[in-house]
Amino acid sequence: MIRLALTLVLLGATASVSAQDYTSPWWVAFDYGQTTETPERGFTEFDVYRLTLRRDWSRNLWSGDKARLSGYWEGSVNYWNADDGHLYAAAFSPVFAFYLGSVDNAWQPYIEGGIGAALISETALAGRQFSTTFQFENRLGIGIRGERLDFHVRYLHYSNADIEEPNNGMDSFVAGIAYRF
């Protein structure tokens, strides 16, 4: 999975170097992280891998001299790997991002948040019972974005919002890098 993500990023970098088009709305990203361990509830940690494709919104919702509110659409494929098994997830989410600094700055720090929908391949993993394959994907994150690269850290929460019990959910922290192509 890691090799696939790196290969995609390198192919994108090679294909777009000659064009020098920094206005493309498309980004590919790879994230890695772990769930939060809750031993008193019988849960164990597991690894979270995410490969995402995102597209910037075509306009800002608000824009000032030193900040702007915008966002992007993000689709992801996820692999969750635990000692007792693994599962796959696919998610889609609108993400709101508040960028600090002028759009002309080489790097812009930001905070982000979003709520989307996800489908998971199994309803149990690492002691957690998800009950439904449909889940909500909630996120809060921070990052810094340049013309071609974006570095970010996110808190992700998956749960079915008590559509069906038990609803143990999953919390994780992931860090990643995105590349504009």
Q: Is the pLDDT of residue 58 over 70?
A: yes
- Determine the pLDDT at residue 21: 53
Give pTM, 2 decimals: 0.86
Cα gap 129→22, rounded to integer Å: 44
Containing domain of residue 70, as a range? 2-180
- Determine the pLDDT at residue 42: 83
Written as six digits, the tokens of 66 are 């030193």
**Average pLDDT in the 19-23 region?**
60
Domain holding 122: CATH number?
2.40.160.20
- Determine the pLDDT at residue 3: 55
126-174 residue pLDDT tens? 999 999 999 999 999 999 999 999 999 999 999 999 999 999 999 999 9
Cα gap 33→176, rounded to integer Å: 9
Written as six digits, the tokens of 44 are 């164990």
Written as six digits, the tokens of 176 are 């990643």
- Determine the pLDDT at residue 17: 45
How many residues comprise the chain? 181
- Determine the pLDDT at residue 39: 75
**Average pLDDT in the 90-94 region?**
98
- Determine the pLDDT at residue 40: 78
Q: Is the pLDDT of residue 1 over 80?
A: no
- Determine the pLDDT at residue 14: 47
9 in helix, strand or coil?
helix
Q: How many domains does the chain have?
A: 1
**Average pLDDT in the 80-87 region?**
96
pLDDT band at 19 (very low <50, low <70, confident <90, very high): very low
- Determine the pLDDT at residue 2: 56
Cα gap 87→133, rounded to integer Å: 11
Nearest to 147 by CA among 175, 108, 110: 108
Q: What percent of the chain has pLDDT over 70?
A: 88
Partners of 113 in beta bridges:
96, 140
